[in-house]
Structure 1
Amino acid sequence: MVTLFFFLSFINTLLDSLGSSLVITAVGGGTAVIPFLTVYAVWPASFVFLVLYSFATQRFSRGALFNIVVAVFMAWFVAFGIMYPFHETMHFHGMAESVLEGLPSGLAGAVGMVRNWMFTTFYVGAEMWGDVVLSLLFWGLANEMTTMREAPLLYPLFGIGANIGQTVSGKALSTFSTLASSRLSYATQLQAIMALVVIFSFVVLGLHAYITHRFPSNISPEPELEPVPVLEAKPTLRRTSPAAQASSSQGGAHLNGAAVELEADASSRLRASSEASTSGTASPGDAAVKAAPAGSNRKAKLSLRDAVIFLTKSPQIQCLAVMALAQGLSTNLIEIAWKSHLHMLHPSPAAYSAFLGEVATWTGIVTGTLMFASPALFARWKWRGVAGATPAFMLWTGLPFFVGCVLYNVVHPGQSLVGAAALRALVIVGAILQVFAKGAKFSMFKPAEEMVYIGLDEQSRTKGKAAIDVVGAQTGKSVGSVLQQVLLVVSSGSLVKSLPVMAMAYFAILRSWSRSVHTLSTLHVCAFTTHSMSIDGESDEEAEPAPAQVAVLTETTLGDVSPQSPLAAL
């Protein structure tokens, strides 16, 4: 799992850096293109994927879906590498110049998105790889292979492979861009990187096949519903004292010294349920069996509309959705402000990619360090403290960065030595913010979020996770991009004038994120086998028996009932 995460993260770092470099440094591009890309390209692609994924989950296994999705990405990487040398002739430069003459300057980003359509599609593919393969598919595999007891230790450690991959990938990208810039054309560099991505994608498919065939799934298969056996009526087992139980060998079965009282009419209700299932009519007992959430029932098939309605009724999923939206929104706002100043400092694609590679390298180092410390942090801070660390850090470091951006653009030192030094300092501070924000997200917030899914039902784990991971984060980015579009139109295309409003929105969004973490912590959705490792860290010695214990209790009391019988579900 660590090795698989290494290669997925290596590919993701390359794609993310290249995607941003291409659309920002292209002719007619710039940072103003990003808000339009997020809303009109990435967001629709996320919804299309969600519909297709919901359709495919009813017809393919999780392993088959993993292979299909990765294969589609590989085909696009090959096609892009072949077409890139001809992008100047394939892009719509002439049409874009004529359209720009009759449009407001605030819509130049939308024209640039259409103008460089090949770079737009690559940017969408890079964004979707991170949301679909790195987040949805990998963590879906992890949730299937990991138990609740193992998650607090293994989930942070899984990310060690990802952060090593990010560190190595970032260093390789920056070194390759620096050394090859004087010997190879940028087209040759990009084709070499695409070839490396395709090779590593084959490695990913091989590792996934080995894991799924070599190691068993943590989720037991759900057997088909069997006919309920007809049981003979038995005498009622009355409560007896411990002394009477000790002296009698015919007493009722008990668990932990507590006698169990079973009424004799249970067998008659089971007989009625069996007869009703044979005749095709439903009895109350049969309805109870079908409504039972235990694994003995056949898995229900929900349509996309039913799944959305189902998920809106889950308070845990609602909190996770708000957190995903807030994460996407805050990341989008802070990243746009930082990348706009980075483009001022490094206008060429090679230098821009090299700087992003250095940022990715330090992000991997910091995140890996935090991941080694995260098991101790979970033990000390509990779930709520670990999950709330990311929004707290982004809140109290992001606001000073916005203030620095506003002051720099108000003073506007220009091309002077002081201005160049101030711009470089601002870019470095923004890079540090990006490094620690992403490090906290992937080492603490993401493992804490994934632990929630283990305790949820199967529909919430599959369709709920797909909706949140793929659409939720992109919806947050899209809302932030819509806000930026409005500000760009109002300010005649000047992102600098929009920074104060973006800072206020950033503060409100992170406050909502923190409140959702607090609400989710009160739901006890991450209760582990011992309550000392749960969300609030308090013991709960008087907890009700788990459903599995009730099933064992029933089976112990009526020893002639099959373990696969629906009685276990009841």
Structure 2
Amino acid sequence: MQLQMKPIGLGPLRASKPTVCPVRVQASTHTGTRSRVLPIFNNLKPVFGTGVAPRPAPVVLKRHVSSAAAASVAAGSPAGEPALPKASQTAKIVSLGALFFCSTFCYTILQNLKDSIVVTAVGAEALPFLEAYGVLPLSVCFFMIYGWMNKTLPDKWVYQAALTPFLAFYALFAAVLYPAAATLHPVHLLESIRSALPAGLVGLAGMVVHWSYSLFFCIAELWGGVAISLLFWGLADEVCSISDAKNVYPLLGIIANVGLVAAGAWIKNVNNSLAVGNSVLAVQLLVGTILTMAVFLMTVKGWVYDNFVPTTGAEAEEAHRKKEARLKKEKEADSTPKGGLGDSLGVLKRNPKVGNLAVLVVGYFIVQKLFDFAWKAQLRVFYPQPAAYQSALADVAQWTGIVTMVLMATSKYVFQWGGWTAAALATPLAMLVSGSLFFTSAVAMQGGAGALPPQVVGTLIGVGSIAGMVGRVMTRAPKYSLFDPAKEMVYITMSKEEKNEGKATVDLVGAYFGKSGASWIMQALVLITGSMVKAMPIMGLAHVLVSLAWVKSTLSLGAMMKGTDEAHGHGAAAPAAAA
């Protein structure tokens, strides 16, 4: 899964806890920020991607100074804020980069482990059921618990407290549950009832029978939303000012994708050198890597908190007062009736820009999910063993990181030379072409191209294999360098009222029909056809039709954007300036 570049905006204030600390110079009396509990639908798959926005004023940076300097500042000399030392700024960037690298490294390992274990043991048919009936309920439970942690625990320990249950389960799984899976899973029960079950329910039954694998899948799936979107970006927003964010966040994005590449290399090394033919040892080595990095994560996070988060008593009192006022306001807002799906559909009819944007967002999620499910099912045909499956996923992770870094470096020029339409069309066209080739290959492997000569079918299979890898990369790499910036540029052309209404509508419709819709579509197809493989022709047709609708809406939006630019006299320079 690809990692999001963090947008810059304004975030809520948080209450800092008063502590006793050495004599330090405070660069500002402005309060820190606190991550709010993110809406649950924004944290599913994440992954990986949302976080709270940076604070609106320079963050307080604590640094040790001499007694004379401390006395001088206490006496009121000199006027104005002291400049941050270059060494301190470098330490902040290095520490945040280390946190992001390790979080992404662990995320990549967990993504590979959960998919390889479940798909090779249960089948890809279980994936839509796991996401609907496993990941979603656990996400709701976690964010309820996180809300309680946020209110009751000292700020310094929320990060550690939130990650500890995940790490404890990963350790339990690697040490006990996975080695004893043959004893713990009543596979004989599944075999005895398989003939009585409808073919479409075998995946759901397999999910229940292989309960430890399913539990690991769901808890591993939450890592991206919790460790990266919520905890890491919450800390980054707390210690970085807006001026910091403009320089630091793009660098963090590069570091995160380096983490993808490094994790892919380590997974292949474990499976090909350190644990050849021993799946239990491979899982234990990979989980041991995660636990080791987690200790480093918590240590670095504690150091960042001690050195870059304001903790003085005066600031804590002021922040607490503001936090109480904010919580009261949020409580009042929660009790106010909000527009539902019907109101959102009305906005889509009234505003063509919002309607086309909704098609873009829903189209992306449906196409990406359909391709993911199909590709993982087909990958099992080529790589039926967990180690080989993990290595194939590791190759994709490495290429995803490399392509993302290249697109991040060149996206500005795509907008400048090709304009908004060309940049926005890059993602759907890449997914349409690679997806069409992949699904054609999948149908050919089933014998759907039986009338063709064997050489032609073999060529289709080879092309489809490459197209599958390319499609997997292209469903992620362009999103945060081309698709998301292009989407946000449309909002720039709207009035404030249209922008607020449009964002709320697109987010709601995207959650209803995009993120959840693809899982429900796949469940229906599996129930009707009996397996993911048999559903391939219908999935391929749906993939093409949704992609074409996405392209059509992009072209419509491109015409609207061109008209808006010409009306304001911006011409072709507007997209490049926005990028």
Same fold (TM over 0.5): yes
**Cα distance change of structure 1 residues 311 and 478 upon mapping to structure 2, 3 Å threshold:** closer
1:42/1:474 contact within 8 Å kept = no
**Cα distance change of structure 1 residues 135 and 518 upon mapping to structure 2, 3 Å threshold:** farther
User: What displacement does 1:48 show?
Assistant: 2.9
For residue 430 of structure 2, the aligned residue among 393, 413, 416 is 393
For residue 195 of structure 2, the aligned residue among 101, 104, 122 is 101
1:167/1:361 contact within 8 Å kept = yes
Q: For 1:108-127, what aligned pairs fall within 5 Å after superposition?
A: 108-127=202-221
2:239/2:309 contact within 8 Å kept = yes
**Cα distance change of structure 1 residues 412 and 21 upon mapping to structure 2, 3 Å threshold:** farther
For residue 461 of structure 2, the aligned residue among 420, 423, 430 is 423
For residue 30 of structure 1, the aligned residue among 90, 105, 123 is 123
Determine whether 1:433 maps to 2:462. no
Q: For 1:15-164, what aligned pairs fall within 5 Å after superposition?
A: 15-26=110-121, 29-54=122-147, 56-59=149-152, 64-83=157-176, 84-145=178-239, 154-164=248-258
Residue identity matched to 2:170: F
For residue 338 of structure 2, the aligned residue among 298, 309, 313 is 309
Taking structure 2 as the reference length, what is the TM-score of the superposition?
A: 0.64
User: What displacement does 1:345 show?
Assistant: 1.0
User: What displacement does 1:485 show?
Assistant: 2.1
Determine whether 1:14 maps to 2:51. no
User: Residue 383 of structure 2 corresponds to which residue in structure 1?
Assistant: 346
**Cα distance change of structure 1 residues 56 and 309 upon mapping to structure 2, 3 Å threshold:** farther
**Mapped partners of 2:318, 2:555: distance in 1:** 36
User: What displacement does 1:14 show?
Assistant: 0.7
**Cα distance change of structure 1 residues 336 and 296 upon mapping to structure 2, 3 Å threshold:** closer
**Cα distance change of structure 1 residues 89 and 538 upon mapping to structure 2, 3 Å threshold:** closer
User: What displacement does 1:501 show?
Assistant: 2.8
**Mapped partners of 1:517, 1:59: distance in 2:** 50
User: What displacement does 1:129 show?
Assistant: 1.1
User: What displacement does 1:329 show?
Assistant: 2.7
User: Residue 335 of structure 1 corresponds to which residue in structure 2?
Assistant: 372
Residue identity matched to 1:40: Y
Q: For 1:205-220, what aligned pairs fall within 5 Å after superposition?
A: 205-215=298-308
Query: Secondary structure at the residue paired with 2:518?
Result: helix
2:439/2:464 contact within 8 Å kept = no
User: Residue 296 of structure 2 corresponds to which residue in structure 1?
Assistant: 203
My pick for the range that moved more, 316-325 or 503-512, is: 316-325
- Matched pairs, number: 456
1:308-328 C-alpha deviation (Å, 9 max, x unpaired): 938989999999998665544
User: Residue 170 of structure 1 corresponds to which residue in structure 2?
Assistant: 264
In structure 1, runs of 5+ residues without a counterpart are 227-293, 524-530, 541-570
1:276-311 C-alpha deviation (Å, 9 max, x unpaired): xxxxxxxxxxxxxxxxxx999655233895499389
**Mapped partners of 2:300, 2:523: distance in 1:** 42
User: What displacement does 1:411 show?
Assistant: 1.9
**Cα distance change of structure 1 residues 15 and 519 upon mapping to structure 2, 3 Å threshold:** same
Determine whether 1:406 maps to 2:443. yes
Taking structure 1 as the reference length, what is the TM-score of the superposition?
A: 0.65
For residue 193 of structure 1, the aligned residue among 272, 275, 286 is 286
**Mapped partners of 1:62, 1:386: distance in 2:** 42
Residue identity matched to 1:302: K
**Mapped partners of 1:413, 1:170: distance in 2:** 40
Residue identity matched to 1:170: G
My pick for the range that moved more, 107-116 or 386-395, is: 386-395
Sequence identity of aligned pairs in percent? 30
**Cα distance change of structure 1 residues 67 and 496 upon mapping to structure 2, 3 Å threshold:** same
Query: Secondary structure at the residue paired with 2:196?
Result: coil
User: Residue 269 of structure 1 corresponds to which residue in structure 2?
Assistant: none
Residue identity matched to 1:191: Q
**Mapped partners of 1:388, 1:152: distance in 2:** 27
My pick for the range that moved more, 83-92 or 404-413, is: 404-413
1:320/1:468 contact within 8 Å kept = no
**Cα distance change of structure 1 residues 424 and 123 upon mapping to structure 2, 3 Å threshold:** farther
User: What displacement does 1:536 show?
Assistant: 5.0
Q: For 1:513-532, what aligned pairs fall within 5 Å after superposition?
A: 515=553
1:392-421 C-alpha deviation (Å, 9 max, x unpaired): 53244433433343344312599x887666
User: Residue 392 of structure 2 corresponds to which residue in structure 1?
Assistant: 355
Query: Secondary structure at the residue paired with 2:330?
Result: coil
User: Residue 485 of structure 1 corresponds to which residue in structure 2?
Assistant: 523
Q: Give me the CA root mean square deviation.
A: 5.0
User: What displacement does 1:113 show?
Assistant: 0.6
**Mapped partners of 1:346, 1:187: distance in 2:** 17
**Mapped partners of 1:114, 1:404: distance in 2:** 32
Larger Rg: 1
User: What displacement does 1:478 show?
Assistant: 4.0
User: What displacement does 1:429 show?
Assistant: 1.5
1:384/1:535 contact within 8 Å kept = no
Query: Secondary structure at the residue paired with 1:302?
Result: helix
User: What displacement does 1:162 show?
Assistant: 1.2
User: What displacement does 1:382 show?
Assistant: 8.0
1:341/1:423 contact within 8 Å kept = no
**Cα distance change of structure 1 residues 199 and 539 upon mapping to structure 2, 3 Å threshold:** closer
**Mapped partners of 2:318, 2:421: distance in 1:** 37
1:156/1:372 contact within 8 Å kept = no
User: What displacement does 1:468 show?
Assistant: 6.9
User: Residue 546 of structure 1 corresponds to which residue in structure 2?
Assistant: none
1:156/1:443 contact within 8 Å kept = no
Query: Secondary structure at the residue paired with 1:438?
Result: coil
1:413-432 C-alpha deviation (Å, 9 max, x unpaired): 99x88766643432221001
Query: Secondary structure at the residue paired with 2:197?
Result: coil
2:377/2:533 contact within 8 Å kept = no
**Mapped partners of 1:517, 1:12: distance in 2:** 36
My pick for the range that moved more, 155-164 or 83-92, is: 155-164
**Mapped partners of 1:212, 1:517: distance in 2:** 47
User: Residue 2 of structure 1 corresponds to which residue in structure 2?
Assistant: 97
